[in-house]
Amino acid sequence: MSNDPLLQPYRLKHLTLKNRIMTTAHEPAYAEDGMPKERYRAYHVERAKAGIALTMTAGSASVSRDSPPVFNNILAYKDEVTPWLKTLADACHEHGAAVMIQLTHLGRRTRWDNGDWLPTVSPSHRREAAHRAFPKKMEDWDITRIVKDYGDAAERMKAAGLDGIELEAYGHLMDQFWSPLTNDLDAPYGGDFGNRLRFTFEALAEIRRRVGSDFIVGVRYTADEVIDGGLTKEDGFEISQRLKESGMVDFLNVIRGHIDTDAGLTDVIPIQGMASSPHLDFAGEIRAATNFPTFHAARIADVATARYAIASGKLDMVGMTRAHMADPHIVRKIVDGREGEIRPCVGANYCLDRIYQGGAAFCIHNPATGRELFVPHDIARAKVRRKIVVVGAGPAGLEAARVGAERGHEIVVFEALSQPGGQVRLTARSARRREMLSIIDWRIAQCEARGVVFHFNAWAEAVTAIGENPDVVIVATGGLPHTEVLASGNDLVVSTWDILSGDVRPGTNVLLFDDAGDHAALQAAEIIATSGAKLEVMTPDRSFAPEIMAMNLVPYMRSLQRLDVVFTVTYRLESVKREGNGLAAMIGSDYGGVRRERRFDQVVVNHGTIPLDDLYFQLKPLSSNLGAVDHDDLLAGRPQSSVRNSQGKFQLFRIGDAVSARNTHAAIYDALRLVKDL
Ligand SMILES: Cc1cc2nc3c(=O)[nH]c(=O)nc-3n(C[C@H](O)[C@H](O)[C@H](O)COP(=O)(O)O)c2cc1C
Ligand code: SF4
């Protein structure tokens, strides 16, 4: 038996958890019709198979109809949820993983124009900034009905054979009662501290009445809102004690902070460039004060920190939630002594940000996550070994090389630059986004372990590729900044890449015209504004930086607002001309009727990339498929079968930004789904 602290079993009431690693509740928005169907099940089973001790399913599964599924939550208020959860739980139990679910009423943290279009409810009329609904202030009959809903939902979960439930009480209805900032009710549910906790204990009592004392029930709650006028740390410790002493709760899952704003949420769930495990000591203090089972997660992304959290006695169970989205096989790799092979979570937060935009959670560099039904995490070996030449060692090219090598193919990679990484390397020049380099480093290590041959400083011509006598050539040459977008004066502007790379120094009075809305613009903006320049970021869109989602925007705003950067929306840069020793920019608008000239000394244009596709078009006539991708084969997971030139000696494909400007996830997914079947 291993003496690794992370691999020691943990006894929670009657339940033995086989090790100390769990995933905390997270709604990946994979539900279909509000139900956890095949996709949902496959996602959790992947973790169970790899040895996770406890998977807390859902995330904010709704107990009531007036808690609409704002990020495609599971509808725990419907009876039909029980058989779906039973199938999921049975499948995970087969692999020895315990399965629980988080239940909640979202209160004001949702929208009324969703689900059944019922008014949202809360103990006050105060609006939550993040979701913008003005809630109805609750009445007595709302409270009675929702307390009963908690009991009904808990009973369904028990009937599904789950090992337990957890109630969400941070930013949701339960702690909207607790916090003086969100409770305007009079006694008996508002006013003093005890009154504000009354709803929670009534809900717990109802749950216990319905599921009995054996079923495991925990609470995930904020024990310090870290906001003026909100719940203090002292309040949080008192709540922790009262939860324990109620005898109705079996574990505490500690959160610190408030989530009603994007900034608050980002401090609770930090992203890349922010501190690792910032609330671990706090959770440890609660464990020490209560001497009660304590769980916690917040950017404990690597095994060493997780091990420390357990070994130091700060936690009983450590949550590695996003870490498992990046690599669902963490526990298996620890057990097998292969920790070094774990695909690292780089904190890009593509996963979480997407659900707040109505999308499903995807990991920026593991496209198999959430697609388990048709994209495997483990790559099968090919029956026939082929030779694949990959041109370009950015994220797409490296993923193609990695997956090809896992298939057992012979892989040769040509890269024009001296180092791998492509655009990711440029991104990682910002200190705050340096972790992105792990996307590259992990792939290089995987490739090297499998004998991939790399040629750096090697500009591949058609003859270079053909000279290798390949069966397949994959062009992953990426793109170059596309700045030729003005009616005139294109030669007078610079690109965001010029700023990011340091090739061009920022001016003193700068216009950054952002027509892509992505990270490159705001990263360049940070460099320009930090240099002391006066900066205006202008976009023709309705809002600025539309591709940078909620939580990723937070660190940018924290620095750019301090530096007095001006953001202008709905205006379009039309042309630039030289005037004296400066530039005159003609500004128009897609809405028409506005044209005015403005003076700057530097104009930076961000308009995505234009594919670097010369090599592809040189090779195209020589290939057997003439570059064609058979979409039916691609989407059905079959080898590419298109033959359009019987004289061609190799198949040719291009992937990533060499096709069109997209993002890192898209580039890696292009590579994975093509090469897994080659
Ligand atoms: C896609 C996604 C959805 C989440 N939804 C919930 C949720 O519904 N309820 C909840 O308590 N936490 C939710 N979380 C937060 C996680 O449980 C966890 O606290 C957070 O990701 C920090 O832990 P980590 O750094 O190990 O990922 C979500 C996280 C992610 C990535
Ligand atoms: S998207 Fe980023 S934060 Fe989310 S799991 Fe992947 S690497 Fe981690």
Per-residue pLDDT tens over the stretch 178-206: 999 999 999 999 999 999 999 999 999 99
Distance 348 CA to ligand 2 centre (A): 5
Nearest CA to ligand 2 atom 8: 345
Instruction: Point out the ligand nearest to the CA of residue 435.
Output: 2
- Is pLDDT at 357 greater than 90 in this prediction? no
Helix (H, G, I), strand (E, B) or coil at 108: coil
Contacts of 424 (CB under 8 A, 6+ apart): 394, 395, 436, 437, 439, 440, 664
Q: Is 322 in the pocket of ligand 2 (CB under 6 A)?
A: yes
Distance 327 CA to ligand 2 centre (A): 10
In whole angstroms, give the CA distance from residue 35 to residue 73: 8
* The pLDDT of residue 563: 96
Q: Tell me whether strands 534-539 and 294-296 are parallel, antiparallel or unpaired.
A: unpaired
CA-nearest residue, atom 1 of ligand 2: 363
Indicate if the pLDDT at residue 1 is higher than 80: no
Distance in angstroms (rounded) separating the CA atoms of residues 376 and 367: 9
- Gyration radius of the chain's alpha carbons: 27
Atom nearest to 439 CA in ligand 2: 7
Q: What is the mean pLDDT of residues 588-594?
A: 93
Using the mean position of ligand 2's atoms as its centre, give its distance from the Cα of residue 622 in Å: 39
pLDDT at 62: 98
Give the Å distance between the CA of 656 and the centre of ligand 2: 19
Ligand with smallest separation from the Cα of 220:
1
Q: Which residues line ligand 1 (CB under 6 A)?
A: 24-28, 59-60, 102, 168, 220, 269, 297-300, 319-323, 351-352, 355, 361
Binned at pLDDT 50, 70 and 90, residue 561 comes out as very high
Q: What is the predicted pLDDT for the residue at 12?
A: 98
Which residue is associated with the tokens 């379009």? Answer: 572
User: Can you give the pLDDT at residue 254?
Assistant: 98
Which ligand has the nearest atom to the CA of 324?
Answer: 2
How sure is the predictor about 593, in pLDDT bands with cuts at 50, 70 and 90? confident
Q: What pLDDT, on the 0 to 100 scale, is given for residue 565?
A: 98
User: 673 C-alpha vs ligand 1 centroid, how far in Å?
Assistant: 27
pLDDT band at 495 (very low <50, low <70, confident <90, very high): very high
Cα gap 657→674, rounded to integer Å? 15
Q: What is the mean pLDDT of residues 117-136?
A: 95
Separation of 316 CA from ligand 1 center, angstroms?
18
pLDDT recorded at residue 432: 94
Statement: residue 356 has pLDDT above 90: no
- Give me the count of residues in the chain: 678
Q: How does pLDDT run across 176-185, given as a tens digit for each residue? A: 999 999 999 9
Predicted pLDDT at 595: 95
Provide the pLDDT for residue 388. 98
Segment 260-286, tens digit of pLDDT: 999 999 999 999 999 999 999 999 999
Please report the pLDDT score of residue 676 as a whole number: 98
pLDDT band at 358 (very low <50, low <70, confident <90, very high): confident
363: Cβ below 6 Å to ligand 2?
yes
108-116: average pLDDT: 93
Mean pLDDT of 126-138: 94
Average confidence (pLDDT) over 290-315 = 98
What's the pLDDT score for residue 2? Answer: 87
Q: What is the pLDDT of residue 143?
A: 98
Average pLDDT, the chain: 97
pLDDT tens sequence across 137-166 = 999 999 999 999 999 999 999 999 999 999
Reduced to 3 states, what is the DSSP secondary structure of residue 516? coil
Q: Name the residue of 352, 363, 436 whose CB sits within 8 Å of the most ligand 2 atoms, as the mutation to test its pocket.
A: 363
The predicted model gives 332-353 an average pLDDT of 97
